[in-house]
Amino acid sequence: MEKARGRINGWVIALALPVVAIFLAFCVGRYFYHPYYIPSESMMPTFKVDDLILVDTRAGHPPRIGDIVVARLGKSVRIVRIVARGGDRVEVRLGVPFINGVAARQQAAGSVTYTATEGPVTAQRLIEQLPGEQGTHHILDIEQGYSDGDTFAETRVPAGHIFALGDNRDRAADSRFGPETFGLGMAPESDIIGTVAVIYGSPDRSRVWTKPQ
C-alpha cells in the first residue's frame, strides 16, 4: 500500500511540475514584458498599423543608438528609435540625421505603397545606419521634396535624455518637435518604459514572432 501511495504521489508531482513551470513563466513574462498596440503609421515600415508588440521593461543596459523604445509622453506613449543620447550633438539636414557631425548612411531600397488615412501613399524606402548603430534598419521618405522635419538645427542632447525619430520620417511626431506641437521633444531616459522585443501579432502573419530591426 505504501509503495502504491508513493507511486501516486510521484505521478502527481511529475504532472504538477510542468503546470507550475508554465504558471511561473506566465507570471514572470507578464511582469517583464508588456503588450502594446501600434495605432499609427509613424514607425513604418518597421511596424504596421495594428501590429501588436511585446516590450521588455527590464533595465538591462543604457539606451543604445538604434534601439526601438516605448517612451511616456504625458498620459500616452510614443514608439520611436533612439538616434542620439545625452551629450551628443544632433542635427537633421535634408532628412539625414547627423550625430556629432557624422551623417547617417542612407541607401535607396525601392519604393512601397501603403494605405494611410487619406488613401494610398507611395514612399521611398531607405536602408539607414546611424552613427554608432550596430546594424541597419529601414525608413520611409514620403515627401519627395521638403517637409517640416527635414531640417533640425544642431542641438546638444541634455544629459540623461534621448533624441529619437520615427522610421516613417514624414509622418512621425518625434524629438524634432516639442510637446507644444504634440511631438516627443528631448525625452528623459526615465520616461523610457522599455525596449521592443518582438512582434507577437500582425495583419501580416509572416511577421508574427519576429524581432524588429
More confident residue, 85 or 28: 85
CA atoms within 13 A on the CB side of 109: 14
The torsion of the CA quartet 195, 198, 201, 203, rounded to 10 degrees, works out to 100
Residue 4 pLDDT more than 60?
Answer: no
Q: How far apart are the first and last CA of the chain?
A: 61
- The pTM for the full model equals 0.84
What's the full length of the chain, in residues?
213
pLDDT of residue 62: 85
